[in-house]
Structures are given as structure tokens and as C-alpha cells.
Amino acid sequence: MEIPWKAHAWRELESARARTLDMLAGLPEAELLRQHSPLMSPLVWDVAHVANYEEQWLLRALGGRSFTEPAFDAIYDAFLHPRRTRSQLPLLAPEDAFAYAARVRQAVREHLDTLPEDSPEPLLKDGFVFGMVAQHEQQHAETLAATLQLMTTWEYRPAARESPRPGAVPQHEVFIPGGPVRLGSDGPWAYDNERPAHTVDVPAFLLDAHPVTNGDYLVFVESGGYEDPRWWHPKGWDFIQSERLSHPLFWLPQGQHVWLRRRFGWIEPLPKDEPVQHVCWYEADAYARWAGKRLPTEAEWEKAAQGSDGTPREHPWGGARPTPLHANLGGDTWGPASVGAFARGRSADGVWGLLGDVWEWTASDFSGYAGFRAFPYREYSEVFFGADYKVLRGGAWASAPVAVRNSFRNWDFPIRRQIFAGFRCARSVK
């Protein structure tokens, strides 16, 4: 039985807030205010930003009360202020930011009770705007995790939930038959860039059963992959040369064939059976070329997630909500699991790990589907359309179940490495 949207929305809002508070509990005020990287905001900016977003969309836009003035909105407007400049703004102190978030949430709780369960208003239909805000806060929780990983001034060492033991499932290629596939979603909480659902024809192809692992990628590194321009997109070659890159972010070479990695407060041996993460699109593309393969298009990726039998599926395994038995999601493992750990999460065609663990780079530029309409604001998707951004699919260990599905589309610059991104390879069938 479907849960009424109000109960579902409140549960997701509270789950997101509990995660945010838990992640930041115990951090000194100086660390919350500090800009740990020019790539990321001060942690306290994100706290007030998600509260301000909630105030704008769940109170003001729905006829509720307002706590702040437009000038305050501007401080927490992601489009007015690049991340590298946000520490220079007159930000709320941490205590005030958390208090503001709590006041907004209490007002939302009270206002939610006054809203109709059924409404033709697009923002309220099936609770769309509440789902948008819950997903937004969970996406910022993932951003907080990326900031905490970049932190070097404080040892952030969270307690991690243990991942299930993997089965013995070696890497292999899965044949995905050609034919039509329904891409996108018209689901109640789908974002505008997932809409409208539509059918396209995808030729047959081969797809790796698992994401590329650290062990796989290490062979590329140690065989001189970063020293050979044959494998690199010209812009990628320029990037790794200018940045003097020779391995994924957070890997720590210790001498011949000995590698460690830094994962939050831990320094640990590089686990060879986990999906590689913190690689940019250019690194993924170079590895695929070196391996005699390529990155899948996002249509191929979604076809693999849907399954080749033509049955529409919200997740690779079907319509059931993700659980810890299906995929590594939710952020409490603080890293990827070993490949082959989630047999219940396999697709209908036998592809493993399509949701969770690492975002997967695709070959596709970010653009709107035919019939795209911006809703409820252009700045969520439309302003990013174009060749500057590459699409990622699938979600990572730090992504929340509410914000992952077969149709969900993420995007970023092809040079980004701090995100929890990896990849798997594909091959065309001749």
C-alpha cells in the first residue's frame, strides 16, 4: 500500500536532517567556518543554504510564513556566489545556522498539516516540492561528505557500518541486446531533467558486469597510463600535465607496487576489489581507451539498468525501495563496498552494482530530453545543458536512496575528482 505523500515526505525530510546533524556533530566551530578547499563551501554555508532553500520552497512558495529578507537569500544563493568565495560572505555562525534550520523545519511541520493531500497545484501534486527539498538536502549531505574528505585540519573519522561480504564474481562483460528502451521518468518526485519519459532504440552492446576496481585501475597506473598521451582526450592530457597527476585523488604511493589511500581520517592499504573512486571523466575515458573499450552512453547505462526484457523498472532489481541488501547507499559505510557484494541488486541481465558505491561517468554530455520543460526553476537543470558537463549515473555510497533511481541524472565538469565518482566500460558489438 502506498504511503500518503505527507507521511512519506515528512519521513524523508527528517531522515535528511538527521543525517546532516549527525555528520557535523562534534566538529569545532572553526572547522565548520573554514573553507577546506576552493572547490567546496564552508560546511556551515551548506547548513544555512538547505534551510533557506526549504524556507523558500516549503513556506513562501506554498503561502507559509517567511523568516528572512531577500538580502539574506542572496548570501545563500549558489548562483550568485561561487564556492571559492563563500567564506568571505557574512555567514551565520554555526549555532545560529543550526537554530535557523530548526525554526524553518518546525514551521514546515506546522504548515504541512494545513495543506491538502490532493491538489492540482503542480508544486503540491503527490508532494513534488517536498520530495525536491528532501532530495536537495540529501544531495548537500553528499557534498558535506566530499568536503569532510578534503579536510586536513581536523581528523574526521566517522564510525562506519560494515558492508556485506562479496561473493566470488569476477569481472566479465554482459551482452545487452539491442532494441527499444524507455528512458527518463514521469514519476511524482522525478526532476525536470528526467522528464518526459520517452522511448529510444539502443543498439546491442557489451557492458562490464562491475565498475572498474582499484586493482584494475592500478594496472593502468603502473603500466604508465598517465605518461602516454595515446589514451587521453587532448583536453584531458593538458589537464593531467598541468596538474601533474599520476594516479587517482587520495591515493598515496609508498614505493614500488605499494599503495595506500586516505579515506576521511583513515590511512589504509588500497583495497583492490573496491570500485575506483575520485577519478575524473578524463581519467575514466583514458582507462577505457587503454583497455580497448569506451565509456557507455547514458542511454546504454539506463538500458542496462532497466533490463533488456522491456519491463519498466525504477531500480535495476525492480520497484522495491533500496535497502542495505540491494545497494551501498545512505552514507553510513563511508566508502564503497567490494564488487559483488549485493546480489539482490543485480539487474535483470546480470549487471552488478549499477546503483550505489560510486557514481559512474558516461560518455554523454548533459542536455535536455525532447520535450523538456524547466520546472520549477531553470537553475536546477537547464542552465547546465551543454558540452561543458558530462553525465554521471547510479549514485554513490554517499547518495541517499530517495535520490537514486534508474532515471536519475547527475552531471559535473569532466575535471572533477573530489566527487565520489568511478566508472565501468562498454564495447560496441560489431
CATH number of 5-150: 1.20.120.450
Ramachandran area for residue 394 (φ above 0: left; ψ -120 to 50: alpha; else beta): left
CA distance 127 to 188: 8
CB distance 298 to 354 below 8 Å: no
CA distance 371 to 91: 40
Q: Is the peptide bond before 269 cis (omega within 30 degrees of 0)?
A: no
pLDDT for 2: 54
Q: Where are the alpha helices (DSSP H) in 25-93?
A: 29-33, 43-54, 70-75
pLDDT for 251: 98
pLDDT for 165: 74
CB distance 418 to 150 below 8 Å: yes
Q: Where in the chain is the domain with CATH 1.20.120.450?
A: 5-150
Residue 342 amino acid letter: F
Q: Where in the chain is the domain with CATH 3.90.1580.10?
A: 173-213+286-428
pLDDT for 363: 98
Alpha-carbon distances of 98 from 22, 101, 122, rounded to whole Å: 12, 5, 30
pLDDT for 3: 67
Segment holding 302, helix H or strand E: helix 298-306
CATH class of 173-213+286-428: alpha beta
Q: Which of 61, 46, 31 is nearest to 138 (CA)?
A: 46
Phi/psi at 182 (nearest 5 deg)?
Answer: -90, 115
Question: Which segments of the chain have a pLDDT < 70?
Answer: 1-3, 167-168
